[in-house]
A and B are shown apart, each in its own frame.
Chain A
Amino acid sequence: MTMMTVEQVEALSPDAASLKRARGLATERHWVSLGVSEDALWGECQGSGKKPYRTQVALSDFAAKCSCPSRKFPCKHALALMLLAAAGASGIKKTSPPDWVAEWIKKRARRAEAKAAKAQSEPKTEEDLKALKKAAKRRAKKREALAHEGVQALQLWLKDLAHLGLADIKNLPASVWEDQAARMVDSQIPGAARLIREMAEALASETDWPPRLLLRLGRLFLLTRAYQKLESLSDLEEAEVRALLGWTITQEELIESEPAVADDGLGCDVQTDEESQTGVRTQIAWLWGRETRQPAQILNFAYRNQPLDISLIAGRAFRGELVYYPGALPLRALFKEKQVLDSAFEPAGYKTLSGFLSAYADALGRDPWIEDYPVILQAVTPVLTNDRWYVCDAAGEALPLPEKYAAGWSLFSLSGGAPLTVFALWDGWVLLPKTAWLDGREVVL
């Protein structure tokens, strides 16, 4: 049976207010009944009404259901129930589930079976298929036309910026970037909109911004040129360009068309960002394969309080099959199958910084648009020199960490002056450590 820790429950909370309210309910006196089985955790929480709310959590993936009217997911009752379990509440006794829990578990199993069956179901009639294909072709043609116009407009805009010069670009009002990003969304190339917004954000935050901005402008321009010459690119390169501009592929299509890679994956870093204007939340999880020693980026999207994949937590290991999105340098992937492992593992990666930079150069050769390149560095030691943190390998080679890196002293303390394993993101200039391992314990920095 997989039980949760308080930290994991906190990570599942849709917002701070829910967690705060859940903490208020995480005492046994609020619960009329509590129980746990191999598959589920459940309880009846006495609310303001006569009937207590029935709350249940599936232990396989921490999916939750509650009879309360909350639109948040998981609701405060489910979070409170999990907090109680994490605290080892003595009232949660192992027993057979009541009917309402058993029924829910059965339904979930039936739904999973139906989903699998649907994926393998027979195709529709030939006529239906033809009509579907025709409609899809029409939509694709229309989108292609819109994208071409958008890309042309983007090229002109980028050339205008180049004409203006970096000094003046720095002083442009935020609306210039936002308006252009909105135009790209209208042209159905949301990937270009994202790159423009990121450029504006980086411009405001990076200290050595001129070369970085210039490279970002150049890369975006190159992307527009690549799109205009798709016919001369390989299939993988075309997939890369389209993915960057915002073409998507459904999960079903991906699973059908790409091979799956079986391995154990370790959650190295999980972040959730919310775009304040749209309310879209993006979950970015970096996994590292035990055998493949390769990274995978899992992206999940949700609107406001809709659920994300709440089983993805830093420090948790999974066994399953990953399918990578096609591209010149496949990083993004999705789970075809996954199962949470009871224990995590310390990942293996590069032992020298030269070896890592050589791999990075190779990756850059395949994909010139790489932004954050993930890496596991084994046996590196953090060092502070002239008020700047570095990580140093056994060969006496070093890479810089960001200026004023906030977790520098924590990382240094973890190392105790001895080499340790670090998961980091390399943006070509600085290495940003996200996680480190000490005696097999994962520490999020």
Chain B
Amino acid sequence: MMSLDALARSVMLGCRSQKHEEALEAFGVEAPDPETALLLRAVVVGTAQLAGQTPLEMTPDLAPCDPTDECPLSAAAVPLFRQAMEGQFSAVFPEFLALMAHQRLHAPPETLPTLLGMVRQGEHAEAVLRVIGPRGRWLAGHNPAWAFAADQDPLEAWESGDFDVRLAALKKLREADPAEARSRLEAGWEDESPADKAGFLAALRIGLSMADEAFLVQAIKDSRQEVRRAAGAVLLQLEDSRFVGAMWTTARQCIDLDSPSFKKPILRITLSDKLDSAVKWHGISKEIKHKKMGVDAARLAQVLAFVPPKFWCLDFKKKPEDLIALALDTDWAMALLRGWYAAAVALRDLDWITAFAGERLRITGKLQANFSYQEMQALFGLLPIQTVESLATETVLLAKRDLNNAHPLLQMLPSVEGLWTVKLARIVIRSAQKQSKARPGLICGQLPEYACHVPTELAREIELAWPKDHHVGWTADIDAFTRILQFRKQIRQVLAEQ
């Protein structure tokens, strides 16, 4: 019998060209006209074809995932996880992932394709990889696009994978045997693209030691700026390296502390000839990085960025906040501050970061002229929460003023990582509640972001404390704040019951 496909192909041009007798013979159906014969024939052939079909034969060679090490989320937690993942409470998603990782729980299997897609896009990559569990790694092994997450031999992955896979493999290799990993990287170094080189260099922070110095010094002389910058950032972590030593010597020759008796000390800046040679030898870019800085200032800032800032404290016997204050009094303020800032952030030097943050929170401070909003946010993002609480206490409680819309802490709070302390949350939210009868401003607009940081045990206390007669412009943000806080509370309850 002719198949339905064949019949369909034979009548693409219809019955126009067919004579009655030919059609009846072709379709094998008793009918008064070719059209009727065709339509009835289609039913006969189609029905017979559909009713008579058999399944395909297939012997899949599929090793199932071993379920023994799986720790699934409870049925109650799954819909909450999906809500957070699918964007309804996306701001809460990182916290959800962190809580799951803490409890060694794994993401629901049906969400793994979306999660692996997120990692590929660079969204929450590390946090997601901690919750995909054995099933996620098993799944990743079946899709080349997710091979970076698969249980694959890192040596094999390093040799054959794309950049993401190789980077993941290099990290694993560094964790297991840093020297072996470095020698693998060195072996193919010349063939790597500049972007890949920069990415791989950053991975050398894992298991970093003086044994890596020679390779990094070679990399910092690369012709491409992104490679030099990446190598410099890693070398900075090696305080005893010749590179850092050379930078310190160069920088120190340019900066001195003059401490006349009974007078305020002064930072004296004298640019040395060696600054130019340092720039040459260590691949520092000559281009000006900031529109308010000249060429010399830009070079000085770049050299300072490769010197651990604590060296200055030890050598000048000054605290970071004192040095910042002294720098602000010089004509080279921007170069000094931007260099120290870059080094402090790269090394996560908390003394310096706290000093910068404290200076930024002074209403009369001059620091803001030297840094962008984003740079300051990045800085606040590195502060431990207790330090933020101290800063808030100092600038709000001790100064006996609320966090009004002009307060610099307000702008920085959303970038502070993690959960606020109860005290900090009360300072901030009570300030908001006091101001909620006035027209909405910055503090109102940031409420939904604050909701991701406020301890959930305060949810009810805060909800009941909003003035009933708050300004109508606050309603949407208060509601959003309350919803997010409630959602977070619900997540914690459900996970606690797990």
Q: Judging by beta carbons under 8 Å apart, are B64 and A165 in contact?
A: no
Across-interface contacts of A218 in B (CB, < 8 A): 39-43, 46
Please tell me the size bucket of the interface on B.
35 or more
| Docked complex Cα distance between A364 and B50 (Å) | 8
Q: Judging by beta carbons under 8 Å apart, are A392 and B58 in contact?
A: yes
Q: Judging by beta carbons under 8 Å apart, are A211 and B59 in contact?
A: no
Q: Judging by beta carbons under 8 Å apart, are B43 and A165 in contact?
A: no
- Rounded to whole Å, the gap between the CB of A386 and the closest CB of chain B is 11
Which of B62, B67, B460 has its CB near the most chain A CB atoms (within 10 A)? Answer: B62
Across-interface contacts of A396 in B (CB, < 8 A): 57-59
| A357 contacts chain B at the CB level, 8 A cutoff | yes
| A158 contacts chain B at the CB level, 8 A cutoff | yes
Q: Judging by beta carbons under 8 Å apart, are A221 and B14 in contact?
A: no
Knowing A381-B62, A413-B139, A416-B109, the reply to whether A163 touches B463 (Cβ < 8 A) is no
| A279 contacts chain B at the CB level, 8 A cutoff | no
Which of B46, B460, B483 has its CB near the most chain A CB atoms (within 10 A)? Answer: B46
- Write the B456-498 contact mask toward A (1 if CB under 8 angstroms, else 0): 0000100110100000000110011011001100100100000
| A65 contacts chain B at the CB level, 8 A cutoff | no
Across-interface contacts of A383 in B (CB, < 8 A): 58, 60, 62
- Rounded to whole Å, the gap between the CB of A134 and the closest CB of chain B is 39
| Docked complex Cα distance between A166 and B42 (Å) | 13
Across-interface contacts of B65 in A (CB, < 8 A): 416-418
| B325 contacts chain A at the CB level, 8 A cutoff | no
Q: Judging by beta carbons under 8 Å apart, are A162 and B60 in contact?
A: no
| B16 contacts chain A at the CB level, 8 A cutoff | yes
- The dominant DSSP class at the B interface is helix
Q: Judging by beta carbons under 8 Å apart, are A397 and B57 in contact?
A: yes
Q: Judging by beta carbons under 8 Å apart, are B139 and A412 in contact?
A: yes
Q: Which of B46, B60, B83 contacts A392 (CB 8 A)?
A: B60
| A428 contacts chain B at the CB level, 8 A cutoff | yes
Q: Judging by beta carbons under 8 Å apart, are B39 and A221 in contact?
A: yes
Determine, out of A20-28, A106-114, A282-290, the stretch whose residues face the partner at the interface.
A20-28
| B443 contacts chain A at the CB level, 8 A cutoff | no
Determine, out of A52-60, A239-247, A305-313, A437-445, the stretch whose residues face the partner at the interface.
A437-445
Q: Judging by beta carbons under 8 Å apart, are A416 and B138 in contact?
A: yes
Q: Judging by beta carbons under 8 Å apart, are A7 and B79 in contact?
A: yes
| Docked complex Cα distance between A162 and B11 (Å) | 8
Q: Judging by beta carbons under 8 Å apart, are A385 and B479 in contact?
A: no
| B121 contacts chain A at the CB level, 8 A cutoff | no
Across-interface contacts of A393 in B (CB, < 8 A): 55
Q: Judging by beta carbons under 8 Å apart, are A27 and B4 in contact?
A: no
Q: Judging by beta carbons under 8 Å apart, are A413 and B113 in contact?
A: yes
| B277 contacts chain A at the CB level, 8 A cutoff | no
Minimum CB distance partner of A428 in chain B = B50
Across-interface contacts of B52 in A (CB, < 8 A): 361
Q: Judging by beta carbons under 8 Å apart, are B47 and A364 in contact?
A: yes
Q: Judging by beta carbons under 8 Å apart, are B51 and A354 in contact?
A: no
| B72 contacts chain A at the CB level, 8 A cutoff | yes
Which of A214, A400, A418, A445 has its CB near the most chain B CB atoms (within 10 A)? Answer: A214
| A105 contacts chain B at the CB level, 8 A cutoff | no
Knowing A162-B39, A211-B7, the reply to whether A417 touches B62 (Cβ < 8 A) is yes
Q: Judging by beta carbons under 8 Å apart, are A162 and B14 in contact?
A: yes
| A90 contacts chain B at the CB level, 8 A cutoff | yes
Please tell me the size bucket of the interface on A.
35 or more
| B198 contacts chain A at the CB level, 8 A cutoff | no
- Rounded to whole Å, the gap between the CB of A367 and the closest CB of chain B is 10
- Write the A402-428 contact mask toward B (1 if CB under 8 angstroms, else 0): 000000011111101110000000001
Across-interface contacts of A168 in B (CB, < 8 A): 13-14
Knowing A158-B39, A166-B12, A384-B142, the reply to whether A210 touches B463 (Cβ < 8 A) is no
Across-interface contacts of B143 in A (CB, < 8 A): 409
Minimum CB distance partner of B8 in chain A = A210
- Rounded to whole Å, the gap between the CB of A192 and the closest CB of chain B is 15
| B187 contacts chain A at the CB level, 8 A cutoff | no
Minimum CB distance partner of A390 in chain B = B58
| Docked complex Cα distance between A6 and B55 (Å) | 40
| Docked complex Cα distance between A410 and B116 (Å) | 11
Q: Judging by beta carbons under 8 Å apart, are B51 and A364 in contact?
A: yes
- Residues 272-293 of A contacting B (Cβ, < 8 Å): none
| B54 contacts chain A at the CB level, 8 A cutoff | yes
Q: Judging by beta carbons under 8 Å apart, are A413 and B40 in contact?
A: no
Across-interface contacts of A87 in B (CB, < 8 A): 486-487, 490
Across-interface contacts of A400 in B (CB, < 8 A): 56
| A29 contacts chain B at the CB level, 8 A cutoff | yes
Q: Judging by beta carbons under 8 Å apart, are A368 and B43 in contact?
A: yes
Q: Which of A166, A225, A353, A409 contacts B11 (CB 8 A)?
A: A166
Knowing A24-B476, A27-B482, A414-B109, the reply to whether A381 touches B46 (Cβ < 8 A) is no
| Docked complex Cα distance between A88 and B497 (Å) | 14
| Docked complex Cα distance between A409 and B141 (Å) | 12
Across-interface contacts of B75 in A (CB, < 8 A): 441
Knowing A159-B35, A413-B135, the reply to whether A214 touches B7 (Cβ < 8 A) is yes
Minimum CB distance partner of B493 in chain A = A88
Q: Which of A365, A397, A409 contacts B58 (CB 8 A)?
A: A397
| B112 contacts chain A at the CB level, 8 A cutoff | yes
| B370 contacts chain A at the CB level, 8 A cutoff | no
- Rounded to whole Å, the gap between the CB of A432 and the closest CB of chain B is 15
- Rounded to whole Å, the gap between the CB of B133 and the closest CB of chain A is 11
Across-interface contacts of B40 in A (CB, < 8 A): 218, 221-222, 225
Minimum CB distance partner of A159 in chain B = B35
| B15 contacts chain A at the CB level, 8 A cutoff | yes
Q: Judging by beta carbons under 8 Å apart, are A163 and B43 in contact?
A: no
- Rounded to whole Å, the gap between the CB of A343 and the closest CB of chain B is 11
| B53 contacts chain A at the CB level, 8 A cutoff | yes
Across-interface contacts of A260 in B (CB, < 8 A): none
Which of B65, B72, B486 has its CB near the most chain A CB atoms (within 10 A)? Answer: B486
- Rounded to whole Å, the gap between the CB of A359 and the closest CB of chain B is 11
Minimum CB distance partner of B489 in chain A = A87
| B78 contacts chain A at the CB level, 8 A cutoff | yes
Across-interface contacts of A24 in B (CB, < 8 A): 475-476, 479-480, 483
Across-interface contacts of B460 in A (CB, < 8 A): 90
| B38 contacts chain A at the CB level, 8 A cutoff | yes
Extra A-B contacts (10), CB below 8 Å, given A27-B483, A163-B15, A354-B54? A165-B14, A165-B16, A211-B5, A215-B46, A225-B40, A354-B55, A381-B60, A414-B109, A428-B50, A443-B108
**3 shortest A-B CB distances, which residue pairs?**
A165-B14, A218-B42, A417-B64
A selection of 25 A-B contacts at a CB cut-off of 8 Å is A163-B14, A165-B12, A165-B14, A165-B16, A166-B14, A168-B14, A215-B4, A215-B42, A215-B43, A218-B39, A222-B43, A357-B54, A361-B52, A368-B47, A385-B60, A396-B57, A396-B59, A397-B57, A398-B57, A409-B139, A410-B111, A413-B110, A417-B138, A418-B67, A438-B110
Q: Which residues of B contact A (CB under 8 A)?
A: 4-5, 7-9, 11-16, 33-36, 38-43, 46-47, 50-60, 62-65, 67, 72, 75, 78-80, 83, 108-113, 135, 138-139, 142-143, 460, 463-464, 466, 475-476, 479-480, 482-483, 486-487, 490, 493
